[in-house]
Amino acid sequence: MGTMACIGDSLIEGADVDRGFRWTSLVSNSLGLDVHNCGIGGDTSQGMLARFYPEVLHLKPDYVIIMGGTNDLWWDAQIRAVLGNIFSIVCQARYHDLTPIIGLPLPVHLHAAQKQAFAAPLSGYDRFNEKLLLLLEGLKKAAGNSEVPIIDFYGDFCSDNGQVDDKLYLEDGLHPNHAGHAKMALRVVELLHREFQF
């Protein structure tokens, strides 16, 4: 069945959730798949690109899930730079015979996040949200043009009326709780069944 690596920030790492409940572990348990979690909290797409060769390629996985950009936008980075970094990883993956998969980052639960003591996005939450939606559109378009499968984690964390589903988040409003991780794992398993006949 092969192996999988996942590279990104805290949404990959599984911030503040025990290892066994992280979505990467749940996918591994569900499919009997060897999943390597290469997420680092706070990392940017540039950091992911720099880490890809030494931390992912040496594992020789068959698949790699790439998800990042939230921290870039938190620091008000340009969207085209984020897209360039992520799709540089896609190109490197394919060059080394890895199958890339793009994960769409989660929305931020603003009501919860604004109550926390951590610093707000550099350009404010409203601008951050605007840029996140633009990043998602850019990722979808580029992935479509490059025929890269997408996992829409963002959509899974919104209810039918388009509001962020607060039942899936930790108190910080940024990271998924156990229920959120379970939902992410289910989405990954569904994609692997559909696209790669797992």
Question: Whose CA is closest to 63, among 32, 90, 30, 23?
Answer: 90
End-to-end CA distance of the chain: 7
Q: How would you class 11 by CB atoms within 10 Å of its CB: exposed for 0-12, middle for 13-18, buried for 19 or more?
A: buried
What's the pLDDT band for 60 if we cut at 50, 70, 90?
A: very high
Whole-number pLDDT of residue 145: 97
The tens digit of pLDDT for each residue in 110-159 reads 999 999 989 999 999 999 999 999 999 999 999 999 999 999 999 999 98
Beta carbons of 158 and 107 less than 8 angstroms apart: yes
CA distance 23 to 28: 9
Whole-number pLDDT of residue 161: 81
- On average, the pLDDT of the chain sits at 96
Coil, helix or strand at residue 150: strand
Give the amino acid at 183. K
Whole-number pLDDT of residue 175: 98
**How many CB atoms within 10 Å of residue 116?**
12
Using left for φ > 0, alpha for ψ between -120 and 50, and beta otherwise, residue 76 falls in left
Domain CATH for 48: 3.40.50.1110
Coil, helix or strand at residue 100: strand
Instruction: Tell me the average pLDDT across 69-97.
Output: 98
**Domain coverage including residue 16:** 3-196
Domain count within the chain: 1
Q: What is the pTM of this model?
A: 0.97
Give the amino acid at 150. I
Half-sphere exposure of 146 (CA within 13 A, CB side): 22
Give the amino acid at 4. M
Whole-number pLDDT of residue 160: 80
Beta carbons of 1 and 198 less than 8 angstroms apart: yes
